[in-house]
Amino acid sequence: AQRVTQPEKLLSVFKGAPVELKCNYSYSGSPELFWYVQYSRQRLQLLLRHISRESIKGFTADLNKGETSFHLKKPFAQEEDSAMYYCALSGHGNNRLAFGKGNQVVVIP
Amino acid sequence: DTGVSQDPRHKITKRGQNVTFRCDPISEHNRLYWYRQTLGQGPEFLTYFQNEAQLEKSRLLSDRFSAERPKGSFSTLEIQRTEQGDSAMYLCASSLANREETQYFGPGTRLLVL
């Protein structure tokens, strides 16, 4: 079974402070991990994926297979980072995404 | 706008009625997915198509739910004899089957069953 856990529902940070969103997963095979973001009144969109190993909008995420985690980090939060963030997983050989419950991030000016 | 589109954006219906939603994917995308999202939860997978073939269905998809993609382009999701528990946001996503497949989501159809 594919399972994604995002323990914190709401995260409030001050502008310029670091942000870390936790994501843990459960999957018996070799997963592909993603972070999706939904800004206010916009559709869900891909932020980054672990195989790309790139930084998007200052965000990075490292897949830690030992800890089965894929935490999202940004050193300095900006007001435009306020959004809903979802961690998602797809398993090898299947394409469906399993999402966590999401984190609401509020960046305080 | 060449993104995924969904119609209608909102639907209010009475319990026991049938409803049908439409999804138009990005034109060259051969995969199409349906998800359901309830309040406070992430999207949950319902079913997906590659071209016109429905390749996987979730256990969440009861026999009151049926999805089609007859010509491998747009898709419809029908819910028969709606129940209050069907109230949710229904999301469609499309993708191109390749090594770095990315699912692009539509704006969703919000269903309220009274």
Q: What is the mean pLDDT of chain A?
A: 92
User: In angstroms, rounded to a whole number, what is the distance separating the alpha carbons of residues A101 and A43?
Assistant: 16
What confidence category does residue A105 fall into, taking pLDDT thresholds of 50, 70 and 90?
very high
User: In angstroms, rounded to a whole number, what is the distance separating the alpha carbons of residues B52 and A24?
Assistant: 34
Residue given tokens 């594919």 in the structure block:
A2
pLDDT of the residue at A28: 85
Does the CB of A41 have a partner CB in chain B at under 8 Å? no
Interface test with B, best of A9, A33, A96, A104 (most B CBs within 10 A): A96
pLDDT of the residue at B30: 92
Helix (H, G, I), strand (E, B) or coil at A66: coil
Torsion of CA B19, B73, B59, B101, to 10 degrees: -140
pLDDT of the residue at A69: 95
pLDDT of the residue at B1: 54
Per-residue pLDDT reduced to its tens digit, A15-31 = 999 999 999 999 988 88
CA B7, distance to chain mean position in Å, is: 10
Instruction: List per-block mean pLDDT (blocks of 10 residues) for chain B, which spans 114 residues.
Output: 90 98 95 95 95 91 93 94 97 88 95 98
Does the CB of A102 have a partner CB in chain B at under 8 Å? yes
Tell me the average pLDDT across A65-74: 94
